[in-house]
Amino acid sequence: MIIRRPRMIKFQRSIPLYIVLLLFAIALSYYILIGVYTVIEPDMNGTKKTSQQIVFIGGYPRSGTTLMRVLLDVHPMIRCGPETRVIPKILNLRGQWGRGKESERLTAAGLYPVAVDSAVRSFILSLIQNAGENALVLCNKDPLSFIYLEYLAEIFPEAKFIHMVRDGRAVINSLVKHYIPDSRYILLMSI
């Protein structure tokens, strides 16, 4: 009598990674769009919230932020647009204005933090809105703007944030492989 062993089922990748990422992006965009259809109410300062939902994508450079932007851009109600590279610089300037002699000078000129924050919010919102076509959900992908995540959440309380996290070894490998001499990495290192 011949005894046969049962065949072992080997795990194989039956679903390519890009399909999984696409399904994730669709589910994420649905989650983001749920927050779009809310009633617009005045916030604490008496100013009205924007009728458009704002989404910020950030994380360490080379952590997958561009892939997330591309996946969200596929949705017809979402527009991400290009990386501005201006927003992190504005946020860095705002951080400098909040301390030392600059803060004293602004206060002496009658520009209190609430007024400066309102101007920064309007400027950033204008940059995002004018970066492309109009859409229900506007998204900004500036990885280094997440250094100022707490401040962004303060001036955009209705915004949603997607923080991309990748294994640090893979990030460093990608940075070395795709070496791009850029001053924005120096900004990150100086903090």
Q: Would you name the residues annotated as active-site residues?
A: 83
Chain centre to alpha carbon of residue 64 = 11
Listed in sequence order, the DSSP H helices in 130-162 are: 149-155
**Residue 130 DSSP one-character state:** T
Residue for token digits 């992908």?
Answer: 141
Mapped onto helix, strand or coil, the DSSP state of residue 49 is: coil
What's the DSSP call for residue 10? P
Report helix angle 65-73 to 17-34, nearest 10. Answer: 70
SS3 content of the chain, % helix, strand, coil (to 5): 50, 10, 40
Residue with tokens 């809105």: 129
